[in-house]
Amino acid sequence: MYCPRCGKEIGKESGFCPHCGSSITPEKGFIIVTTPTIPGHKISRVLGVVTGLTPRTRGVLGKFVAGIQSMVGGEVTAFTTELEKARIEAMNRVREKAIALGANAIVGLDIETSDLGLQAGVTVISATGTAVIVEPE
């Protein structure tokens, strides 16, 4: 099986590509937007707020590589893939919660990143939106 985004080979059981972090099994027909409305659709029912969280940290080797990269400056690539995977995971979790409510879309999606402040290097990615049922206009 190959990633639809980067084209690299991945395992059949993977939910995301380990190379680029792209989601492998998106829910067909499910719409997620950051806007309050979806062009060409009307919201027939609002089901409520849904949130997906994922706390992440890097292992010792990842932190070591990141430390070296931060001395040089520029992008800290040791964290880029991990943050992309965390973003996709948070979006998948918010989608699953919306589907469990009977939604076929999420409007007003907001993705936030924060540090837990425990000096443990734990970053939390949060995806929050409104689960809705939409129908074409």
Q: Within 13 Å, how many C-alpha atoms sit on residue 60's CB side?
A: 0
Please report which confidence band the pLDDT of residue 120 belongs to, taking 50, 70 and 90 as the band edges.
Answer: low
26: DSSP letter: P
Q: What is the CATH number of the domain that holds 101?
A: 3.30.110.70
Residue 6 inside a domain? The answer is: no
DSSP string, 82-100: HHHHHHHHHHHHHHHHHHH
pTM of the model: 0.69
3 in any annotated domain: no
Q: Give the N- to C-terminal CA distance of the chain in Å, as an integer.
A: 37
Indicate whether 74 pLDDT > 90.
no
**Is 53 within the bounds of a domain?**
yes
Q: Does the residue 54 lie in any domain?
A: yes
Type of residue numbered 92? N
Residue 14 domain flag: no
Residue 11 located in a structural domain: no
pLDDT tens per residue, range 83-111: 888 888 899 999 999 999 999 999 999 99
pLDDT tens readout for residues 16-41: 777 777 666 555 689 999 999 999 99
Residue 57 counted as domain residue? yes
Name residues whose C-beta falls within 8 Å of residue 44's C-beta, 6 or more positions apart in sequence: 132, 133, 134, 135
Tokens 């001395």 correspond to 71
Distance CA 48, CA 34 (A): 15
Residue 117 lies in a domain: yes
Tokens of 66: 């990141």
Residue 5's pLDDT is what? 60
What's residue 71's pLDDT? Answer: 62
Q: What is the CA radius of gyration of the chain?
A: 17
Number of domains observed in the structure of the chain? 1
Structural domain of 49:
31-136
